[in-house]
Amino acid sequence: MNSGELENRINCDFLDTEGINLAKEVGMASYKALHYAKTLVKPGAKLLDVAEKAEKYAKENGFGCAFPINLSINQQAAHYSPAVGDEAVFTDRDVVKVDFGLAKEGILGDCALTVDLSGRYQSLVEATEEALKDAISVVHAGVKVTTVGAAIEKAITKRGFSPVRNLGGHGVDKHDLHSHPFIPNYDNGDEDELEENTVVAIEPFATTDQTGMIKESDVCEIYEFAGEAPVRLPNGRTVLKIVMEKYRYEPFAARWLMGDVKDKFVLYSGIGELLRSGALVAHPTLTTVGKGIVSQAEAQVLVTREGCEILTK
C-alpha cells in the first residue's frame, strides 16, 4: 500500500483470544484461496474468469472478500482487478501478481504471490520471496519498522533489483486493511515499533525499474465507501444505495455491483458522481514510473513478544 494512505490511522488492540482464533481462521482460508487462484493463472485464461472463480471460492467456503482480487501484470504493481466484461487474457509473456484476502466478521486476510508465466523473471520472483522470509525472521514486538525494511531491501538489492519505495506492508485492523504502522521495503529510518498482539502484513515489492517508484494510472476498478454525501443525480443515488447496503466497510470492484445495477452506463456514471461528491474513494491501478517489471510477495503475521506467527499459511 501507499505510505501516504496511513496518516492518522491507528492499529487498535482488537485481538482477544476469540479474535486471534478468528484471525487464524481467516488467514488460513486466505492462503488457500490465494493458492487456488494461482492454479487458475495460465496463458489463455481470462482475468475475469479467474477473478470470479476465486471470489466465488471465498463465498462457497463461508467467507467474504477483504478486497477484490488483484491480478496485476508486468509493470502493474497492484490494484488491477478486471472490469465489467473484461476480455483480457493472460499470456506467456506475463509476470502476474495475485493479491487476495478473505473476510469474516470484520477480520481481514491479506496475502500475495507472483506467477512468472514468461519464465524470464524467476530471479525477480525469488527476490521478493526471499525478502519476505528475511523480513519475517526479524519481526517481534519492539522491532523498528525500518529494521524490517532493511531486511527486505538487502534481500532484493543483492539480486540486482530495486525495492519499491512508495509501497510496503501495513497493519491490519478490524474493517481496516491498511492501518498503522506502514512497513517500508527499505531502510527509511522510521523508528516506529511493532506492537505485541497486533496483525501486520509484510509486503515486499521488487522491480527491474531503477527508480524504485510507482505511480497511479488512469485505470481504476476498485473503490471504497468514504461516507455519506449529497448526491443529486439518480444514477449516483442508485449506486450509493447499493454500496451502503452491501459494501459499507471493505473495498469493492465495480463489477460486483452489476448484479444489482444491470446497466453499465448507470454503474460507471453513478460511480463517477460518487467520486466527485466524496462518497467514494478510488484505488487506481499502480504502475512503475519507469515501466519496469514488478514482483510481489505478502504474508500476514501476528506479532508476538519473541517473534511472530504466520497467519496466512
**Together in a domain, 169 and 268:** no
* Residue in 170, 173, 187, 283 annotated catalytic: 170
Residues with Cβ within 8 Å of 69's Cβ and at least 6 positions away in sequence, in order, are 37, 50, 51, 54, 55, 81, 98, 99, 100
CB atoms within 10 A of CB 21: 12
Active site residue 99: yes
What's the CATH code of the domain at 167? 3.90.230.10
The total domain count for the chain is 2
* pLDDT for residue 14: 57
Active site residue 178: yes
- Domain extent, residue 11, equals 3-216+290-310
Residues 95 and 186 in one domain: yes
The enclosing domain of 246 has a CATH number of 1.10.10.10
Residues 181 and 294 in one domain: yes
The rounded percent of the chain whose pLDDT value lies above 70 is: 95
Residue 12 has pLDDT above 50, yes or no: no
Q: Which of 25, 134, 203, 221 is catalytic?
A: 203
The 10s digit of each residue's pLDDT in 160-193 is 999 999 999 999 999 999 999 999 999 999 999 9
**Residue 27 near residue 202, CB atoms below 8 Å:** no
Catalytic one of 25, 55, 94, 110: 110
Whether 118 and 253 share a structural domain: no
Reading the block at residue 240, the C-alpha cell is 450509493
Task: Verify that 119 and 136 share a domain, yes or no.
Answer: yes
Q: Quick one: 116 and 244 in the same domain? A: no
Minimum mean pLDDT range among 17-26, 152-161, 163-172, 245-254: 17-26
Question: Do 275 and 171 share a structural domain?
Answer: no
**Span 255-313, pLDDT tens digits:** 999 999 999 999 999 999 999 999 999 999 999 999 999 999 999 999 999 999 999 99
Average pLDDT, the chain: 95
Tell me if residue 49 is catalytic: no
Please say if 221 is a catalytic residue. Answer: no
- Concatenated DSSP letters for the chain? --GGGGTT--------HHHHHHHHHHHHHHHHHHHHHHHH--TT-BHHHHHHHHHHHHHHTT-EESSPPEEEETTEEE---PPTT---B--TT-EEEEEE-EEETTEE--EEEEEESSSS-HHHHHHHHHHHHHHHHH--TT-BHHHHHHHHHHHHHTTT-EE-TT--EEEEETTEEEEEEEE-SS------BPPTT-EEEE--EEES-TT--EEE-S---EEEE-------SHHHHHHHHHHHHH-SSS-EEGGGGHHHH--HHHHHHHHHHHHHHTSEEE-PPEEETT---EEE-BEEEEE-SSSEEES--
Q: Are residues 86 and 226 in the same domain?
A: no
- 103-122 burial: b if 16+ Cβ within 10 Å, else e: bbebbbbbbbbbbbbbeebe
Task: Give the span between the Cα atoms of 161 and 152, in whole angstroms.
Answer: 11
Give the predicted TM-score (pTM) of the model.
Answer: 0.93
Whether residue 40 is found in the same domain as residue 143: yes
258 & 180 share domain: no
- At 7, is the pLDDT very low, low, confident or very high (cuts 50, 70, 90)? very low
User: Is 175 one of the catalytic residues?
Assistant: no
If asked whether residues 40 and 154 sit together in one domain, one would say: yes
**How confident is the model at residue 8, as a pLDDT?**
36
The catalytic residue among 129, 176, 209, 298 is 298
Active site residue 170: yes
* Pair 238, 110 in one domain: no
